[in-house]
Amino acid sequence: MLKLFSFKNYHNKLILEMLKAANSGAVASNILGPLISITVLHTYFETICLSIWFVLHLVLFTMRLKVSNKLISIIKEDINYKIRDRYLLFYNFMLVMTAILYALISMMSIYNGVEDLNLFIIITIIITLTAGSISTLGTVFLVFISFMISSLIPFFFILLYHGGMLFDIFAYMILIYLVVHIMSGYRLFLVHKDSIELEEKFKTIYNKSSDGILIIKNNSFFDCNERIVDMFGYENKEEFLKVELSCCTPKYQPDGESSFKKIISLLKIAKDEKVTFEWLQQKKDSTKFWVEIVLTPMILNNEHVIHGIWRDINDKKESQKALEQKNKQLEDSQLRSAEKEKILDNSLNEIYIFDATTYKFLYVNKGAQNNTGYSFEELVKLTPMDLKDDMNRDDFSLILRDINHTDNEYIFFSTEQERKNSTKYDADIYLQSTIFDGKEAYVAIILDVTTRKKAEDKIKQMNDNLQDELHSQLEILREKDEQILQQSKLVQMGDMISMIAHQWRQPLNAISASSINLSLMSTMGVLEDDKLQENSTFIQEQTQKMSTTIDTFLNFVKPSQDSKKFTLNATVESVMQIMGTQLVNHDIKVDLKLDKIISLVGHEDLLEQVIINILSNARDAFEDIEIDNKFIKIEVDKVDNIPLIIIEDNAGGIPIDIRDKIFNPYFTTKEQGKGTGIGLYMSLDIMKKSFSGDLRYKATQKGSLFRVVCGGYQL
């Protein structure tokens, strides 16, 4: 706790956060506050006295700006902490002097007989400044607490000195406010401090990780840690991030595939799901090494990127290769042993050994004899080509060449074999070079996979049938969603027809009155041209308003076809043309805040339907309660570049026990016959499917608040 009272224990980021509001804080406390105070006190003080007091504030204002700018420069240039702390102490001193100037003018006000109301205004100014200090000074707790104490403690004694029950009560309220505000400032300081420490720890873990970390964006390197720069042999991070993806890998992988095509394919998969694989990389000096790569999709700064972890497994691969070579030598030794024929004969698979030059069979096991129908004596006169009618010697030689001219220890392929009775069967074949009786040969292991193939075909057919059934069920669900959407829109159309009736009542009455007036003037013979023209113009204006209402209604009713560009302000205003009069008739005040122009591309009428659903629910909720000053606030805003429509009312809110059910289909709190329970369900469905967004509910102290989140397609 004692560390809080030493400037050297405050992180530079905490000080920079405080200095962000240094200029605005100086203007408020050294310019605006003194000007308001002088306006209140000018009749009680001599001009020279107030002028000197204001000049002192101007001096402090100038010095605060210079010191804050100097502090920012010291921190950015990483000058030693002693100089930084000296300027920070000076900055704190100027804040304390600002508070003392307010205390001084307040004490002088008592001596000059300033009215209590004006004294309260001065005290209110300093309380306002201390209230704002939690956001401007809160990240450096020592500065914050110094300003709070020097601002409010003098006023505590000044109020007690003034005397009077009201001032005594106010003095102790200030003391309580001081304690509470300091506790709030301390919590704010801890939040900022912990956030910075967490950020520093994350950076340390990120940069000092034993594995390489890469952030890939649009198939290019976006960010990385120090380990991966060392892993690829580059001088620094900036140099490595400029390297093309294809320059960090050989042209072909050991399996013969193009490295570039294969990595692009893997990156495409990694955009949607986690991918783990082993990969042969290439350093800056063209040295090749093995790594294990884990690619994971993630969202960074509202953008889709791929997080990659590179683990060097080159030593592991070398050990594995050496182990595999030893295993191969052991297997060769076993084949040359006296017991090899017993082992091979007991195998249920077909095993053949044939000469590397003549391709004649040197050995066949009993499994081969049983499955092909040939005897041992017959088989040793044949070659592998005799068991496959579509294979000639040249084609077979090409297959064997893959073993001799690549790093593969064996090759595998699937084919169709032929028995002695001309029947055919599916087979998986493994081919490997070996030494048999002192000369080069090949060993072939053949697995009869006929039964497995049949099972695979059956599984494939079952999977195809399942896919068809899945598509069928999805189509049924889609049709049900469309029916629910249409049902919701029909309910709203009925509600809107009622709204139109409300909106038309006034212009129809006006037209009727104007018509009666014309008829009376005509009957009395006092109808003049200018009166006729005036009433005719009035009737046309009222008719045009009714026509506009119909156009708005038709735009809502006609189904959405293509997406179009529109603004959220225009959408809200269109809804108000439909519902505005009805809300006014229900004594509901609508407060619109549409000062931000935000554009989207999508189906505007669907968004209108969502807003109308929410406003209709609010209107109905007001009918169940008796309150004055009914209001609905509608605001268009953007948070983290995500467009929002915020709708708040004071209609009592939704009971806590059913809040988690309001978006369920056919759930309603209204009496039977008055609600369908599909409005909010369809509104949420519209925002998710048509706008890649969301619809969120929050209970307020007096009502409800809905956030219509337009997540996608913004411009």
675-715 pLDDT tens trace = 555 678 888 888 888 888 999 999 999 899 999 998 754 44
Q: Give yes or no for a contact between 74 and 84, defined as CB atoms under 8 angstroms apart.
A: yes
Same domain, 200 and 217: no
How many residues belong to the chain?
715
Same domain, 177 and 202: yes
User: Is residue 714, in this structure, part of any structural domain at all?
Assistant: no
Question: What does the block give as tokens for 464?
Answer: 């195809």
Per-residue pLDDT tens over the stretch 106-159: 888 888 877 777 777 877 887 777 666 666 676 787 887 887 888 788 878 888
Alpha helices, DSSP H, located in 360-441: 366-372, 376-379, 393-404
Sheet holding 439-448, edge to edge: 361-364, 350-355, 439-448, 424-436, 410-418
Average pLDDT of the chain, as a whole number: 79
Same domain, 44 and 192: yes
The residue segments making up the domain with residue 192 are 2-206
Same domain, 153 and 223: no
User: Is residue 466, in this structure, part of any structural domain at all?
Assistant: no
Same domain, 237 and 332: no
H or E element: which one contains 298? strand 288-300
Per-residue pLDDT tens over the stretch 650-684: 998 888 888 888 888 766 766 544 555 567 888 88
Q: How confident is the model at residue 198 (pLDDT cuts 50, 70, 90)?
A: low
Distance between CA atoms of residues 41 and 651, nearest Å = 45
Q: Among 206, 240, 269, which residue terminates a domain?
A: 206
What are the Cα distances from residue 69, in Å, to 136, 178, 220?
A: 15, 29, 39
* Rounded mean pLDDT, 568-572: 91
Same domain, 215 and 197: no
Residue 33 CB neighbours (<10 A): 20
Could you tell me whether strands 350-355 and 361-364 are parallel, antiparallel, or unpaired per DSSP bridges?
A: antiparallel
pLDDT of residue 593: 93
pLDDT of residue 342: 63
pLDDT of residue 353: 86
What are the Cα distances from residue 491, in Å, to 31, 421, 613, 629, 670?
A: 58, 76, 10, 28, 14
Same domain, 163 and 222: no
pLDDT of residue 487: 58
Same domain, 18 and 162: yes
pLDDT of residue 311: 87
Same domain, 430 and 517: no
What are the Cα distances from residue 449, in Å, to 275, 335, 428?
A: 30, 25, 7
pLDDT at 589 over 90: yes
Q: What is the largest CA-CA distance in the chain?
A: 137
Q: Can you list the pairs that 496-505 forms with residues at least 24 positions away whose Cβ atoms lie under 8 Å?
A: 496/553, 496/556, 496/578, 496/579, 496/612, 498/582, 499/578, 499/579, 499/581, 499/582, 500/549, 500/550, 500/553, 500/578, 502/581, 502/582, 502/585, 503/546, 503/549, 503/580, 503/581, 503/582, 504/546, 504/549
Same domain, 331 and 305: no
User: Is residue 586, in this structure, part of any structural domain at all?
Assistant: yes
CATH number of domain containing 222: 3.30.450.20
Same domain, 164 and 216: no
User: Is residue 613, in this structure, part of any structural domain at all?
Assistant: yes
Number of structural domains in the chain = 4
Distance between CA atoms of residues 8 and 85, nearest Å = 6
Distance between CA atoms of residues 556 and 76, nearest Å = 56
pLDDT at 551 over 60: no
With both helix axes pointing from N to C terminus, report the angle between 47-76 and 81-111 in degrees, rounded to the nearest 10: 160
Sheet holding 642-649, edge to edge: 588-593, 630-639, 642-649, 704-709, 694-699
Same domain, 387 and 517: no
pLDDT of residue 698: 92
Predicted TM-score of the model (pTM): 0.36
